[in-house]
Structure 1
Amino acid sequence: MATLRLGDIAPDFTQESSQGPIRFHEWAGDSWVILFSHPADFTPVCTTELGRTAALGGEFARRGVKPIAISVDPVDKHQQWIADINETQNTTVNFPILADADRKVSELYDLIHPNASATATVRSVFFIDPKKTVRATLTYPASTGRNFDELLRVVDSLQLTDSHKVATPADWKDGDDVVIVPSLQDPAELKERFPKGWNAVRPYLRVTPQPNK
């Protein structure tokens, strides 16, 4: 399959996992989903990543996000590894890890990059909204662990755009000023949405306090 692009519908699938069979769209329900691949079980960077995901469970839940991981390892190996993650990372993995031994999901989501590895999945992340639309993607090599604060920041930015018609500038963090999307021009709607006002640095650059703060 061709590489998934922003705005595509995330492919549905049924696959085994550490928590039993997953019918993806049904499992996702009306939540946001972060689907992230890891190269292999019992590897150092992956162990820290899944431990970090578990530790951030409350942050994901507060944003209405379900995390789900995937690799090409089988279920029994996942179960053994989860016990190791829990012990070494002092946490409890309570989200599913897809056991994609037949590579069905990996092929749907283009997770095998032969020039990097012909057998292991790369570190890709798919941000999927409640309509099952792919809203953002990130891909890292096996040697580079992901920044999970950045994953949460991306979710916050996407959700702000959906709910308040703002975009987030460079290096934005939750609570910082944001910018009004250029497509919003109606004066009445602007006044209603942004009662605190805005600073029009340029006609296209309108800075305003974060609306939900």
Structure 2
Amino acid sequence: MFNLGDTLPNFQAETTIGTINLYDYLGDSWGILFSHPSDFTPVCTTELARVLTLMPEFDKRGVKVLALSCDSVDSHCKWIEDIQAVAGSSGEFPYPIIADEDRELAVLLGMLDPVEKDRDGLPLTCRAVFVIGPDKTLRLAILYPATTGRNFDEILRVIDSLQIVEKHQVATPVDWKAGEMCMVLPSVSDQDAACLFPRGVTVRDVPSGKSYLRMTPAPQP
């Protein structure tokens, strides 16, 4: 299992667009890798269809998308027709799906669900989400059980947070959404904050009297 900040290993894999190398595919972009238990399964199909409709949002954020499922490339290509039908889409499929029939990558990346099994008794791949930074480090990891579909609106929200924090000395508060007020990091002095955040810093009063809740308008990502 990888920890946040760890560099993900490079790998080569067969996909619906041919053989890819992870690092070459991502280049200098952000990336999202999300895994699936199996093709032609109900939850997985709705998820890949949702990502298909959200591709303009990922593109806008400079995020390259990569899916993984434990079936063959041939199976993936047939499955894509169902995914597009559910999404109400057609034409060229905009992101690759990795074939991982032997679960080699699922094991390498710690994506197996020990509870859910397939018809042969093998562990299913869980619904893992890895957000990968331009430096190939793991910035976010969420593991859903195989039976629970993901919320990709939340994943986009977190990417917005990661990208703004990458460039500015801020944090994002609970339930934050892009464009809302951010929080100045505790490591930033009041003097430095005045220079870093020309749009102003507001301190929220709390009973302790400590001035640690410092809010500032969201900087440009």
**Band of TM-score, shorter chain:** over 0.9
Identity among equivalent positions (%) equals 48
| 1:171-209 deviation per Cα after TM superposition (whole angstroms, max 9, x unaligned) | 11111111011122262x422321111112242221111
SS in 2 for 1:130: coil
Q: Aligned partners of 2:124 and 2:89: how far apart in 1? A: 25
User: Normalising by the residue count of structure 1, what TM-score does the alignment of the two structures yield?
Assistant: 0.94
Other-structure match for 1:139: 143
Partners of 1:186 and 1:102 lie apart in 2 by 55
2: CA distance, partners of 1:102 / 1:144 = 23
1:122 aligned residue (104, 119, 126):
126
SS of alignment partner, residue 124 of structure 2: coil
- Displacement of 1:30 in angstroms is 0.3
Distance 1:138 1:85 in 2: 23
- What is the aligned partner in structure 1 of residue 42 from structure 2? 44
Of 62, 65, 68, 1:67 maps to: 65
Structure 2 Cα separation of the partners of residues 34 and 20 of structure 1: 18
Larger Rg: 2
Q: Aligned residue for 1:200? A: 203
CA–CA distance in structure 2, aligned partners of residues 209 and 41 of structure 1: 44
Distance 2:190 2:7 in 1: 31
Distance 1:186 1:171 in 2: 25
2:207 alignment counterpart: none
Q: Which amino acid aligns with 1:143?
A: T
What are structure 2's unaligned runs of at least 5 residues? 205-209
1:162 is matched with which residue? 166
In 2, Cα distance between the equivalents of 1:83 and 1:161? Answer: 38
1:112 to partner: Cα distance: 1.2
TM, length-normalised to structure 2: 0.91
Mapped to 2, the partners of 1:184 and 1:63 lie a distance apart of 27
Residues 120-164 of structure 1, C-alpha deviation per residue, up to 9 Å, x if partnerless?
200010010000000111111122111111010010000111111
- Name the aligned partner's letter for residue 185 of structure 1: S
Counterpart secondary structure, 1:124:
strand
Match of 2:196, as an amino acid?
A: R
What is the root-mean-square deviation of aligned Cα atoms in Å?
Answer: 1.4
Q: How far did residue 94 of structure 1 move?
A: 1.1
Q: Which amino acid aligns with 2:86?
A: T
2:178 aligned partner: 174
Structure 1: segments with no counterpart, 5+ residues: none
Amino acid at match of 1:154: V
Within the candidate set 19, 22, 32, 2:20 is matched to 22
